[in-house]
Structure formats: C-alpha cells, structure tokens
C-alpha cells in the first residue's frame, strides 16, 4: 500500500508543461482556444495573429499584436487562453518590442479570471522598467517594480514563478521582482499583454503547472 501511495504522490506532484511555438499555426490565425480581449477597451480591439518573422527565436513564426485599431492610452490589449488552468508553476515567453510612442513592450498575464481580473508582469523599454501588477475589476495596482534597461527591437525572455501568494519575476534569466500578494488565489487562464499603442511580438510561450 505504501508503494502505491508513493507512486500516486509522485504523479500528483509531477509538473505539466504546455508550450506554444506558433510554428504549426496558419499565418493570420490564432492558436486554438485563444481569444483577443481588452481591459478598458474604449474602442475597437487590437488585432493579434500569427505572422512570419525571420528573427523568431524558434523557427519562423510568432504571435504578434499587428494593429492597435484604437487610440485609447488606458487600454490593456490581451490575447489569452482559458484552455489551461494555472495556479502554481512557471510562465515564460520571449518577446520583442516593435513600436509604440505612448507605451512599448509587454508581458504575460496569469490566473486570469476574465478581461478585468488577472496578474500582469511586463517590461517597458520606453520607461526602462519591469513591473508586476494586479488588475482587479479593471483597476491596475502595482505590486513590484525594478529599473531595467534593455533595448527595444530585440528578443528578451520574461519569466514568472508563482507559488501560493508568492511570486518572482525574471528578465533574461535574472530575478528582479519578488513578493507576496493574495488578490488572486484561484486557478485561471494565461496569456499575453500590451498597453495602449505598444506593438509587440511573442514566441515560445510556455506554461508549466504543478
């Protein structure tokens, strides 16, 4: 009985990982189970689609915000999926900030309940900062921040580690953010984020759950 119990325990604790490299998705489309959304839209939704990019970290396709379609500086542009259920684990993505005069860059969202409730971690090369926020009922609150200078137009890696109410945020393998927050303690979806007119590309989006 003890052997069976040990086997069940190990199976339960084994991490599961889902990776989207976007190379098997037809250009102009979204991955199955993904949707375009916005917080405080105030206009049309941004356009997101899989596109070819010769600079892509893996193969030749990425998921990109290709057109803003609005002039709302307060809008958060979302592309996310609830086909996964994330509570604890790691989320990682490679991103490239392309254009944007109000904002640039972007990042990941997790424990997403809907377009008004989730966590964000994002890097902005215009402001030279890396920040983590909660968005509750459409209102954003900063939880942690660090001054970081990285060039736009190049690929960088952002990673979040979450366990219970503890979080840690990494850029290019270096930990910059760490803290605790209990705003969202339930499972939710995960995805990608940009603000206002920030046009950004993403590749190798991975979600590892425990």
pLDDT tens for each residue of 29-70: 999 999 999 999 999 999 999 999 999 999 999 999 999 999
Residue 194 half-sphere exposure toward CB, CA atoms < 13 A: 33
Largest CA distance in the chain: 63
CA–CA distance, 105 with 86 (Å, rounded to integer): 23
- C-alpha radius of gyration, the chain, whole number: 17
109 C-beta neighbours (distance < 10 Å), count: 29
Q: Summarize pLDDT for 112-170 with one digit per residue, the tens.
A: 999 999 999 999 999 999 999 999 999 999 999 999 999 999 999 999 999 999 999 99
pLDDT at 4 over 60: no
- CA–CA dist 9, 151 (Å, integer): 45
pLDDT at 1 over 90: no
CA–CA gap between residue 153 and residue 147 (Å, rounded) = 19
DSSP H or E run through 10:
helix 2-13
């Amino acid at each position: 009985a003890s052997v069976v119990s040990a086997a069940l325990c190990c199976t339960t604790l084994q991490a599961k990982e889902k990776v989207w490299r976007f190379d098997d998705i037809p250009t102009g489309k979204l991955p199955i189970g993904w949707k375009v959304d916005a917080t405080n839209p105030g206009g049309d939704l941004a356009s997101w689609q899989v596109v070819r990019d010769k600079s892509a970290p893996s193969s030749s396709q990425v998921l990109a915000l290709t057109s803003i379609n609005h002039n709302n500086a307060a809008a958060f542009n979302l592309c996310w999926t609830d086909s996964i259920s994330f509570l604890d684990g790691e989320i990682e993505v490679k991103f490239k900030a392309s254009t944007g005069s109000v904002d640039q860059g972007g990042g990941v969202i997790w424990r997403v309940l809907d377009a008004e409730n989730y966590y964000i971690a994002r890097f902005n090369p215009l402001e030279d900062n890396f920040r983590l926020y909660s968005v509750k009922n459409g209102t954003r609150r900063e939880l942690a921040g660090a001054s970081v200078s990285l060039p736009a137009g190049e690929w960088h890696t952002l990673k979040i580690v979450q366990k219970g109410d503890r979080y840690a945020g990494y850029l290019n393998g270096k930990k910059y953010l760490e803290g605790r927050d209990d705003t969202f303690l339930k499972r939710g979806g995960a995805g990608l984020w940009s603000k206002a007119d920030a046009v950004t590309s993403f590749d190798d989006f991975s979600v590892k759950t425990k």
